Amino acid sequence: MRYLKWSTSHAVFVTEIDDEHKEIFEAVSNLQEVLSSRGPLLEIRKLTQCLIACTVEHFAHEERLMRAGRYGSLRWHKQQHNTARSRVGQFVLRIDQGDTQAGLALVEYLKSWLRDHTRLADRMMGAFLRNQQRVCKLTFRAGTKPMDACDWVNANGDRFNPLTSKPGF
């Protein structure tokens, strides 16, 4: 079984989100390693709890960011999180009941779900959040003066003229 490795193909280009994804990917791999080598049940439970805790916190973090930014696809994105939360809960129940296959089934489910979710839903959210940061910066730097009296800068801090620049600078 291959391990889940984070690469730039999973990047959403929002540092805090990418860092959390790396942590989750690593937690999945750690659990897979112990399960594959038939490690002690105590260790399996500990790593499962660790994986669940960082995943649950991560989902809540993304949902807070999307809510704060009034992200239009929040409902669709949150529905995907809800599906994963519910499936993971079912696997954890089986693990707690001593089902030896449930651990590896959980790992396989999360590997596939995370690959798909980070590359589409999270990447779309990342693009939205980055764009919002850029707009906020422009608004802040422009202040309330008339348009032609403002210093307009792009996300790199370079000056530009909003009347003559192409959309997207």
The residue among 31 and 84 lying less far from Fe ion, judged by its C-beta, is 84
* Secondary structure element (H or E) that encloses residue 162, with its range: none
First to last CA, the chain: 45
Residue nearest to Fe ion (CB): 122
Member of 62, 88, 126, 129 binding Fe ion (CB under 5 A): 62
Least separation, in Å, of the C-beta of 20 and Fe ion?
7
The pair phi, psi for residue 21, each rounded to 5°, is: -60, -45
Residue 22's nearest CA partner among 6, 8, 33 is 6
Paired strand residues for 98: none
Least separation, in Å, of the C-beta of 47 and Fe ion?
20
The residue among 106 and 122 lying less far from Fe ion, judged by its C-beta, is 122
Residue 26's nearest CA partner among 43, 4, 9, 56 is 4
Least separation, in Å, of the C-beta of 100 and Fe ion?
29
The residue among 59 and 91 lying less far from Fe ion, judged by its C-beta, is 59
Least separation, in Å, of the C-beta of 17 and Fe ion?
6
Please check whether residue 125 is in contact with residue 71, taking contact to mean a CB–CB distance below 8 angstroms.
yes
Q: Which of residues 78-137 bind Fe ion (CB under 5 A)?
A: 122
The residue among 79 and 100 lying less far from Fe ion, judged by its C-beta, is 79
Q: How far apart are CA 18 and CA 110, in angstroms?
A: 17
| Count of positions on this chain that bind Fe ion (CB under 5 A) | 2
Site string for Fe ion, 11-50 (x = CB under 5 A): ----------------------------------------
Residue 4's nearest CA partner among 73, 66, 51 is 51
Per CB under 5 A, residues contacting Fe ion are: 62, 122
